[in-house]
Amino acid sequence: MEVIFSAAMGELASRSISFLVDRYLKQRSAEATEEERLHSLQRLLLRLHVVVEEADDRLITNQAMLHQLSILRQEYRGYYTLDMFSCRAHEDDRTKDYSFAPSKFNPAKRVCFYSGNSEGAAQAELLEQVICSLRNTIEDVSEFVMFLNSYPCLHLQPYNMYLLLDKCMFGRQMEMELVMNFLLQAETAPGTADHLAVLPIIGPRKVGKSTLVEHVCNDERVRNHFSQILFLNGDDLKDASVETLRDGDRIKHKNRVVGGGRTLIIIELLLDIEEPVWKRLYSAAKSRIMSGSKMIIVSRSDKIASFGTTEPLRLQFLTHEAYWYFFKVRSFGSTRAEDHPKLASMAMEMANLTSGCFMSANIVSGILKPNFNPHFWSMVLAVLRNLKKTNMSVYGDRFTLPWKMAEPTYLRRVNKNSSECVVLFLDYETCSAETGPEALRMMSAQDLLFGSVRLRGKFKVHAWTSHLEPHYNYIFHCEIQRPQRLVARNKRCRRAVAPTGHRVAEPAARLLVVYHPRCCSRLWLVADGGRRRLQVPRRLRIPCRGASVSFPQSSTI
């Protein structure tokens, strides 16, 4: 019996040791394979970047080649994957000796912090998919490079160079060339019905339609091709006529020496335009301007597609990977993000919290870039987390895309001695650097968040100055709200809290009544994630604008 038991134990020990050794060797092999794959990914990205950079120096007019160039620019997915693995490696080293819980607010950290074979296998599969996709793209690029040499080189101004992201419009190179081809293509013979060509540009709010048009109009090729550039908006079209086209206040560029008398008309609409108004304006334009003139109409509505003489250009938001690349370069500038893995990890979460908004990225990166301090970046990250948490308690899931909100946004300042809340109205105004020098004397976004000056009432904040000509200043309207105490008959009624909708830290408080900041006759009732409007008797109305009060579950309203 002892012989059998001894043999069984020996076999068990031998198999256990073999299993552990095999597992160790497989783990070492997997780690080496992952490192090799990351190096392979870096090489593929470098090859693609060389091709894209060379293509950006060429005047490409072929639509199919422009589409293929757009596919090549999907290298941002590779950069995102590379940065994601770098952040994961940094966090693994930092948390090797202690346990942790996944972040509820940072999907990037949920990717970086993993345990177990299933998530590790998913990460490896993602890396392999990205590498295979880039390899397939490079295999199809040889013919593209061959045809590329037949196109002339561009003499680029600084704001058109791809490498200088501070001076170029990111992610819109293909759209830019499509508009340029439309404007510079051979003119239709005069006297024909369609001698005034119209290009509709359609896209959702904040996608960058106006910025694209501004960038096109600042191109020297366009300014040399047209004698004047005329801007019209919805208000100008109410009495659209020949006089509208002659108004000098609406002319943004004028040069009689070049352009052969051709005019470029830009029409920007918030929504729709009535068909009789459009026909009147189009008829007036055809009778007033020279042959070879062009018109661009910009709107959020798909209805303007029927007004075009060519296929409309539809703008979409950047992919998550492309937006991360934009946010990273704007925040780090010429500094390599790989040299600051801790900052890169925080920047990745900030990019996720700004949810693809160009303006938010420019404002946040403008605050981060001058100060490469991990503590300072962590404070900015805390502000963005708190902004999302506070506003989701008011608006619920509708706050996933803040820039699409028509309602105001609530923001906490980084000041331990102050409990005030800033109400940020998103109906911002813009002014050019030449016409609005007073914007430079306004409070900056950084002073708003981290300043110690006590703010009162309503005020304006200079949030950002565009790096594209004509360098518009973006100004937000803000208002301060402070907490108030209510005297209520119910003893269980707690302290009124600002900002609007901020939930009281009370276990029994499940009903939240929110006082509407712009209307004195209604409140919002928030309960268990739902929301509905209710009329409130005068005896319960709150005398302070923007306050809120939480009632215990047993209270009646």
**Stated length of the chain:** 557
304 is written with which tokens? 């303007």
Per residue in 186-244, pLDDT (tens digit) is 765 545 545 789 999 998 887 888 888 888 888 888 888 888 888 887 766 666 555 55
- Please give the pLDDT value at position 298: 93
CA count, 13 A, side-chain hemisphere, 180? 23
When comparing pLDDT for 52 and 160, which is higher? 52
Which among 84-98, 280-294, 407-421 has the top mean pLDDT? 280-294
pLDDT tens, position by position, 488-534: 334 343 443 444 444 333 333 334 444 444 444 444 444 444 444 44
Range name among 11-20, 245-254, 502-511, 528-537 with the lowest pLDDT average:
502-511
Give residue 402's pLDDT: 65
Judged on CB neighbours under 10 Å (0-12, 13-18, 19+), 28 is exposed
Classify each residue of 150-177 as buried b or exposed e, where b means 16 or more C-beta atoms within 10 Å of its C-beta: eeeeeeeeebbbbeeeebbbbbbbbbbb
Average pLDDT score over residue span 83-94: 70
Spatial contact of 55 and 66, defined as CB atoms under 8 Å apart: no
Determine the pLDDT at residue 148.
Answer: 83
Q: Do 445 and 363 contact (CB within 8 A), yes or no?
A: yes
Q: What CA–CA distance (Å, rounded) separates 278 from 308?
A: 11
Average predicted confidence (pLDDT) for the chain: 72
Q: Using 50, 70 and 90 to split pLDDT, how confident is the model at 435?
A: low
Q: What pLDDT does residue 247 have?
A: 57
pLDDT digits (tens, 9 = 90+) for 366-389: 899 888 889 999 999 999 998 888
| Two structure tokens written together for 258 | 């070049």
| pLDDT value, residue 65 | 84
DSSP state of 189: P
Work out the end-to-end distance of the chain between its first and last CA atoms, rounded to an integer number of angstroms.
81
Buried b (16+ CB within 10 A) or exposed e, 295-331: bbbbbbeeebeebbbeebbebebbeebbbbbbbbbbb
Integer Cα distance of 42 and 58 in angstroms: 25
CATH classification of 172-314 is 3.40.50.300, yes or no?
yes
Question: Which stretch, 158-162, 166-170, 302-306, has highest mean pLDDT?
Answer: 302-306
Do 308 and 297 form a contact (C-beta atoms < 8 A)?
yes
Residue 445 contacts residue 453 (beta carbons within 8 Å): no
pLDDT tens-place string over residues 348-360: 999 988 877 888 8
Which residue has 């949030």 as its token pair? 463
Q: Where are the domains of the chain?
A: 2-148, 172-314, 483-557
